[in-house]
Amino acid sequence: MAMDVRSMARQARAAQRRLELTTTEERNAALEAIARALEAHAERIVAANAADLAAAEEAGLSGPMIARLRLDEAKLAGVIRGVRAVAELPDPLAAEPEAWVRPNGLRIQRVRVPLGVIGIIYESRPGVTVDAAVLCLKAGNAVLLKGGKEAARSNAALGEAMAAGLRDAGLPVELAQVLPSSREAAAELMAAHGLVDVLIPRGGAGLIRATVEQSRVPVIETGTGVCHVYVHAAADLGMAREIVLNAKLSNPAVCNAAETLLVDREVAGRFLADVGPALLAAGVRLRACPEALALLAEAGVGASAGAGAGAGVGVRAGVGAGEGAAAGAAVEPAREDDWAAEYLGLTLAVKVVAGLDEALAHIARYGTGHSEAIVTADAAVADRFLRSVDAATVYHNASTRFTDGGEFGFGAEIGISTQKLHARGPMGLAELTTYKYVVLGSGQVR
């Protein structure tokens, strides 16, 4: 296994050197060839995915995991449209270089170049196999794709189709290789220092943490999002309601969804009495601090009559028997670990705070550097929040759900970086490149 992965990395390195010499038009033609090959292999890809789905159901994978794994005809058509959309994006390697002339006559240019060989380690979603590959290829990189075992058949079929497309375009098939789905392959990829230039993990917190801790290859951390919406005392509460509902409900399973709601004490009673029923009606379980719990109970939020049979204010496991004293309790006392939880589902932690300072302290302690929002009509408070919060994206009067390459106008993205070096926030094509200095002289010596 060790030699297999290292051999694949060496082949990728050689292939990337050839890709680096191609033109924008040649790389775009390769992406179109991949799109056509995916269309030609569609029946085989969907059948492979059906086999993965059957195995996943037999293994007892959760409903959300199975939903992420599914790649039917409609989803595959969307993936193929995505390939063609990437081909339409501006080429970062063709950008006009920065240039300046020194007093000694040296002309210095800063030129965009590919990162080289990129490893992607990801879970569940087989569409990532294609999305990641075409973004890397468009930016001049070779890519090694390490998916999860649950999608092994789907990823292999997608890899075969992409290889056919590259072959049709006259480019090396080693530019986009699907690695074995084993843990040993992941370990060898993480150990391939000098052969792989950067690793990008895409998945849950456990996968990202393991990659960062174990890899000898530089890692760009992506994804983990404990995102907060803070409703300040000067907020327009109608606006705040819509922002909170959107941030939690528009797609709860993604990293830019809100996981914690912070509310100023001054408006907490009114706001929770309004937004609480709307969240419960949408199926959200609230995990509330003692003060929020009391305010919700006082307003009748979570009472059985309003939240469905068996639902109400419950007692968390560890306090009473089972997950809640009432099965399916909609409002529960928060525990310490709730403030650091990335639920990726219909659960929201709720905390009442004394004001901006307490909100900032809470976000600093529990946030993951992804996306943080404040709702307020006070410009000075908003300015302090935006300057003080250490996150890739900070919002004033808008939902955290906008942290996305497409929403930012970048086109497709490889992920959301939550670190500070090289790239931060939505990573589009430009973030899959680096730069070098080209210095033009006429005999200058120092």
Phi and psi for 105 in degrees, rounded to 5? 95, -10
How many CA atoms, within 13 angstroms, populate the side-chain half-sphere of residue 33? 20
Task: Please tell me the distance from the alpha carbon of residue 286 to that of residue 332, in angstroms, as a whole number.
Answer: 6
Amino acid 43: pLDDT: 97
- Helix intervals (H) in 256-355: 265-281, 290-298, 304-307
Angle of helix 24-40 relative to helix 152-168, nearest 10 degrees, comes to 130
Nearest-Å Rg of the Cα atoms of the chain is 25
Cβ atoms of 355 and 262 closer than 8 Å:
no
Task: Please tell me the distance from the alpha carbon of residue 190 to that of residue 174, in angstroms, as a whole number.
Answer: 19
Q: What averages of pLDDT result for each successive group of 10 residues across the chain (446 residues)?
A: 80 97 97 98 98 95 86 96 95 95 98 97 92 96 96 97 98 97 93 96 85 93 90 98 98 93 98 97 96 94 47 47 44 96 94 98 97 98 98 98 90 87 91 96 96
Q: Residue 310: which of 341, 331, 293, 337 has the closest Cα? A: 331
pTM: 0.85
Task: Please tell me the distance from the alpha carbon of residue 124 to that of residue 334, in angstroms, as a whole number.
Answer: 30
Amino acid 324: pLDDT: 34
Tokens of 148: 């999860």
Cβ atoms of 353 and 262 closer than 8 Å:
yes
Tokens of 6: 């290292």
Query: DSSP E strands: which ranges in 162-255?
Result: 176-178, 198-202, 227-231
Tokens of 183: 């843990």
Amino acid 314: pLDDT: 56
Angle, vertex CA 242, rays to CA 78 and CA 295, nearest 5: 130
Cβ atoms of 167 and 118 closer than 8 Å:
no
Tokens of 123: 């879970």
Task: Please tell me the distance from the alpha carbon of residue 28 to that of residue 181, in angstroms, as a whole number.
Answer: 29
Amino acid 306: pLDDT: 38
Amino acid 308: pLDDT: 40
